Amino acid sequence: MTNSDDVQRTILRNLLLGRWAAEKLKITGRDAEAYAEALARSTVDPQRNDVFSKIRKDFDTAGVAQTDEQILRVMTELMLKAGSLMPTARGGSPDAAGVMLARNLMSRWGQLSIVSRALPGANEMKRTACLRRAFGRL
């Protein structure tokens, strides 16, 4: 993240992502909001900012059936939504950096499909390493 707008957009995305994940995990009320806020706060904590791995682990533990591709797709959609919700100098529309980020992430879906098909029986550590190579830091 290179500037405060990127950080704010990612924090907002992670808050929205936390709400989505809480719903999938059947967490409700104050507990759901606490889960979402913890995910959003982790954005600025270098030790805990890998929200994809956190959600993947929570889903696996709870038996929530979501593929890595589905989680990453939601992350991308919510990044776009977060960008559109943030005020900008041009009246609230997503800025060019947000659009470029979305295009970049969407172009990598093909890479993710290849990784997923190539590693159907891979353990969590190997799958995460391959995803990081394909996507960089998630």
pLDDT value for 40: 87
- The total of other beta-carbon atoms located within 10 Å of residue 52's CB is 18
Q: Provide the residue type at 29 as one letter.
A: G
Task: List domains and CATH numbers for the chain.
Answer: 4-135 (1.10.790)
One pLDDT digit (tens) per residue for the chain, 138 residues: 457 778 888 889 999 999 999 999 999 999 999 999 998 888 777 666 789 999 999 999 999 999 999 999 999 999 989 888 877 644 444 455 555 555 555 555 445 545 455 555 555 556 556 555 555 544
- State how far the Cα of 136 lies from the Cα of 138, in Å rounded to an integer: 6
| Residues ≥6 apart with Cβ < 8 Å to 17 | 36, 39, 51, 55, 74, 75, 78
From the list 103, 106, 134, 107, the residue with the least C-alpha distance to 119 is 134
Token match 């682990």: residue?
57
